[in-house]
Amino acid sequence: MSEPTDGASGGDGEYEHYEAVVVGCGPGGAAAAAALADEGVETLVLERGVDAGAKNVSGGLIYAEESAPYTIDGLFPGFREAATERPVTEYHLHNVAGSQVKSFDITDLHEHDTDWCDAVLRREMDSWLAERVHERTRETGGGLLTEVKVDGLLREEGEIVGVTCEELDPIRADLVVAADGVNSELARDAGLMDWEEPEEWFQGVKAVVDLPDGAVPERFDVEGGEGVAHLFSGDLFDGVRGGGFVYTNEDSLSIGSVFHLDSVAAERAEPHELLDALLTHPFLGQWLADEEYEEREYSAKLVPDSKKAALQSPHQDRLVVVGDAAGQMQAQGPIIKGMNHAVTAGGLAAEAYAQAKARGDTSRAGEFYERKLHDEGVMEKLRPRRYEVASALGEPEPFANLTDAVLDSAVGRFGVRLLGDRLERLYSSPALSMMVPDTRTPYVTLPTVIAEELGAPVDETNDVEPPSLADRIGDLTYDTDVGNPHIELRDDSAAASGTAVTACPVSAEGFGGGCYRRETVESNGEREEVVSLDTQPCIECGTCAVVAETEWEHPRGGKGVEFEEG
């Protein structure tokens, strides 16, 4: 008989076994689990949040692509009616220079290969999915458990055979689906992902802003149930490479900014201030009223740049990796698609496993999955060959500076004026959007020049005063794992980890209430600049894992931040 509290209550020391274990119940995990259950595979889904969606943040648009083999409503009938906010029927891009704005309607680009596209809030969406996932997987003998954090891979003789968890004994499985998000501990345990290169990441920061009933159709000039997406680029972010967005929800707005993390780090930019620059821009005055301005939630997340980070072989032994965990997040110019690719990958992973099983060799699931990602065109979307060619020419510094300089010169400005509204058509080209290089040119210089040369001044005023970082943190819900910090600083010198003070979305220079702050320590008469860390306000975005020297893990199941909107 076993010891009472060591947990091996079965007493025989054998690990539990499920045919498939899916880690994470976001769209990728939910899709994989539903598709596995449909194949009759005994599927256990482990989600670390108190509820699916409690840990999930996205900008807010989910696409169903015409060319995709799986869509979320295909896998979950009734999804759009029950779990989304508004369909996005208009798509605008605004080029900003000071208070000058030149707007393009790029709805054509948005509609390219799009069956439908809806704005979503992740807590509502993911928890709805999770209920269906539990019902369907329970019938296979598995089911969904929340508040369970999978913290690593179970190996036998060097081979992956299951998962280890904080809250449960190790579990063996024939298939492990890592759908554990952008900071996937499983992909890192397998050596497939790291947090080394800031160039491979974007950082998104978002505020969900409350609106009065009926304000969306009125202020955004759309039909009752419809919605709209607005994108922003240009000089409103002090030269940091990236852009902003405003998406309409049922009775709120998702307003956010997404920046290249290397640029955020290099410019020592404060992410919340970048967001505030958008929130307070006069152009948004037509939608926001200062006296009623109320933020429901502040959030942030890292976003992998699939062009650089999408795994070519997202599998190892019995492990397959889907969604953000595998870098499957497409951000090319104004096209930002992540959740749809996660859904497709989840579906394909399930299909691959069923196929391998039918052939009597489940160990080939990963190999089949990789092949399907290529055959179904997913990899071409994530890592387009056009981009590989264009970036080879466009990204090296001298070339980047040259195009920037030319564009900003009299010659370049003349060209922009000459193109005039034909630029709108160029911006609407799916082929061109794939080639957009990760330089200042498309994100900052070109939109600024366009706005200066072609734009008109905004006559709105915007008196919104966004809340302070302290208030934003104060409004979030946390269940702190007291005495058990999930992040540790490996090197607290300002040189190694100082960037976290600015780049962390809940920290700032001169602000003591965030995760990271600067301190001067005097020892033996020597003064030293160090960085100190308090993980209590952490919103689990993973930024510091990239820009600082940390030991980074997620909090235990159910602990840490709990997003109500997401």
Partner 1 sequence: MHTVVLTKGVPDFREGQVAFDEDGHLERGATPTVMNPNDKHALRAALQTKVRNGGHVSLMSMGPPGFKEVLQEGMESVYADDAYLVSDRAFAAADTWATSIALTTAIERLDEHVAEGGVDMVFAGFKTADGETGHTGPQTCWGLDWPILTHVVSLDIDEEAGRVRAKRLVEGDIEEIETVEAPLPCFVVADPEFEPTYRKAAHRLTHKDLREETQERAQNHEEHVTVWDHEELNLDPDYVGLDGSPTIVSSVDPIPRAPAERDATMVDPDDGEAMRELVEEMVPLAGGE
Which residues contribute to the site for partner 1 (CB under 8 A)? 1-5, 7-11, 16, 18, 44, 46, 134, 138, 142-143, 145, 148, 167-169, 171
Shortest approach of partner 1 to residue 188 CB, angstroms? 23
Contact 150, 23 (CB under 8 A): yes
Residues forming a β-bridge with 517: 532
Q: Which CB sits closer to partner 1, 46 or 255?
A: 46
In the three-class reduction of DSSP (H, G, I as helix; E, B as strand; rest coil), residue 202 is classed as strand
CA 100 to chain centre: 30
Q: Which CB sits closer to partner 1, 145 or 496?
A: 145
Shortest approach of partner 1 to residue 494 CB, angstroms? 31
Are β-strands 201-210 and 252-260 bridged in parallel, bridged antiparallel, or unpaired?
Answer: antiparallel
Contact 283, 225 (CB under 8 A): no
Contact 28, 342 (CB under 8 A): yes
User: Any idea what DSSP says for residue 159?
Assistant: E
Shortest approach of partner 1 to residue 166 CB, angstroms? 11
User: Any idea what DSSP says for residue 141?
Assistant: T
Q: Which CB sits closer to partner 1, 22 or 310?
A: 22
Q: Which CB sits closer to partner 1, 7 or 212?
A: 7
Shortest approach of partner 1 to residue 151 CB, angstroms? 14
Q: What does the alpha-carbon distance between residue 361 and residue 74 come to, in Å, rounded to a whole number?
A: 28
Q: Which CB sits closer to partner 1, 169 or 250?
A: 169
Shortest approach of partner 1 to residue 556 CB, angstroms? 14
Q: What does the alpha-carbon distance between residue 392 and residue 207 come to, in Å, rounded to a whole number?
A: 36
Q: Which CB sits closer to partner 1, 4 or 360?
A: 4
Contact 45, 10 (CB under 8 A): no
Are β-strands 88-97 and 16-23 bridged in parallel, bridged antiparallel, or unpaired?
Answer: unpaired
The amino acid at residue 178 is A
Q: Which CB sits closer to partner 1, 9 or 401?
A: 9
Q: How far lies 520's CA from each of 109, 189, 405, 525, 530, in Å?
A: 51, 35, 41, 12, 6
Shortest approach of partner 1 to residue 476 CB, angstroms? 25
Shortest approach of partner 1 to residue 49 CB, angstroms? 15
Q: Which CB sits closer to partner 1, 84 or 137?
A: 137
CA 550 to chain centre: 21
Q: What does the alpha-carbon distance between residue 142 and residue 176 come to, in Å, rounded to a whole number?
A: 14
Contact 500, 516 (CB under 8 A): yes
Shortest approach of partner 1 to residue 225 CB, angstroms? 33
Q: Which CB sits closer to partner 1, 135 or 551?
A: 135
Shortest approach of partner 1 to residue 10 CB, angstroms? 7
Q: Which CB sits closer to partner 1, 170 or 217?
A: 170
Shortest approach of partner 1 to residue 176 CB, angstroms? 14
Q: Which CB sits closer to partner 1, 74 or 170?
A: 170
Residues forming a β-bridge with 99: none
Shortest approach of partner 1 to residue 6 CB, angstroms? 8
Integer Rg of the chain from CA: 23
Helix (H) or strand (E) holding 118: strand 114-119
In the three-class reduction of DSSP (H, G, I as helix; E, B as strand; rest coil), residue 306 is classed as helix
Q: What does the alpha-carbon distance between residue 277 and residue 263 come to, in Å, rounded to a whole number?
A: 16
Q: What does the alpha-carbon distance between residue 50 and residue 70 come to, in Å, rounded to a whole number?
A: 28
Q: What does the alpha-carbon distance between residue 268 and residue 499 come to, in Å, rounded to a whole number?
A: 7
DSSP assignments along 254-303, one per residue: EEEEEEEHHHHHHTT--HHHHHHHHHTSGGGGGT--GGG--EEEEEEEEE
- The tokens describing 501, both together, are 């003070």
Q: Which CB sits closer to partner 1, 44 or 277?
A: 44
Tell me which residue has tokens 């605004």: 94
Residues forming a β-bridge with 441: none
Shortest approach of partner 1 to residue 287 CB, angstroms? 38
Q: Which CB sits closer to partner 1, 148 or 335?
A: 148
Shortest approach of partner 1 to residue 171 CB, angstroms? 6
